[in-house]
């Protein structure tokens, strides 16, 4: 499944990790581009710890990271079957994001919050 995640904070990158671990192709978008890089580096550290503890293999870590891509705009979610919003707790901003998002996704795409 192709999954889009909006917001690369605590929740967003955690959801990305779970989805990518389970074989989904994941695109992560954040209004703050540097946050996606920071979150990805944090995820690498988390996965490295799991490898060190022998919870996952090095190959699995590589596979998980390969499943995650950075989206630079909401248009990048056009092929997603599921999109999960995980941005700041602000109804007006969330509504604005959903309104824009609907211009870029298919009619069958499931959007979760």
Ligand X SMILES: NC(=O)c1ccc[n+]([C@@H]2O[C@H](COP(=O)([O-])OP(=O)(O)OC[C@H]3O[C@@H](n4cnc5c(N)ncnc54)[C@H](O)[C@@H]3O)[C@@H](O)[C@H]2O)c1
| Nearest alpha carbon to residue 42 among 55, 54, 28, 31 | 28
Please calculate the CA angle 110-65-88 and round it to the nearest 5 degrees: 50
Nearest approach, Cβ of 76 to ligand X (angstroms)? 12
Q: Which is nearer to ligand X, 52 or 89 (CB)?
A: 89
Question: Which residue bears the tokens 């069958």?
Answer: 108
Say what angle helices 33-52 and 10-21 make with each other, to 10 degrees. Answer: 50
Q: Which is nearer to ligand X, 40 or 60 (CB)?
A: 40
Interface ranges with ligand X (CB under 6 A): 6-12, 30-32, 35, 86-89, 93, 97
Q: Which is nearer to ligand X, 25 or 94 (CB)?
A: 94
Q: Which residue is nearest to ligand X (CB)?
A: 9
């Amino acid at each position: 499944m192709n999954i889009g995640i909006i917001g690369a904070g605590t929740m967003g990158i955690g959801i990305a990790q779970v989805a990518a671990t389970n074989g989904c192709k994941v695109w992560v978008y954040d209004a703050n581009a540097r946050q996606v890089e920071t979150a990805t580096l944090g995820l690498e550290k988390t996965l490295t710890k799991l490898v060190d503890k022998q919870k996952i293999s090095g190959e699995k870590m590589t596979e998980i990271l390969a499943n995650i891509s950075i989206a630079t705009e909401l248009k990048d979610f056009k092929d997603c079957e599921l999109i999960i919003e995980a941005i700041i707790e602000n109804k007006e901003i969330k509504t604005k994001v959903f309104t824009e998002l609907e211009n870029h996704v298919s009619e069958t795409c499931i959007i979760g919050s």
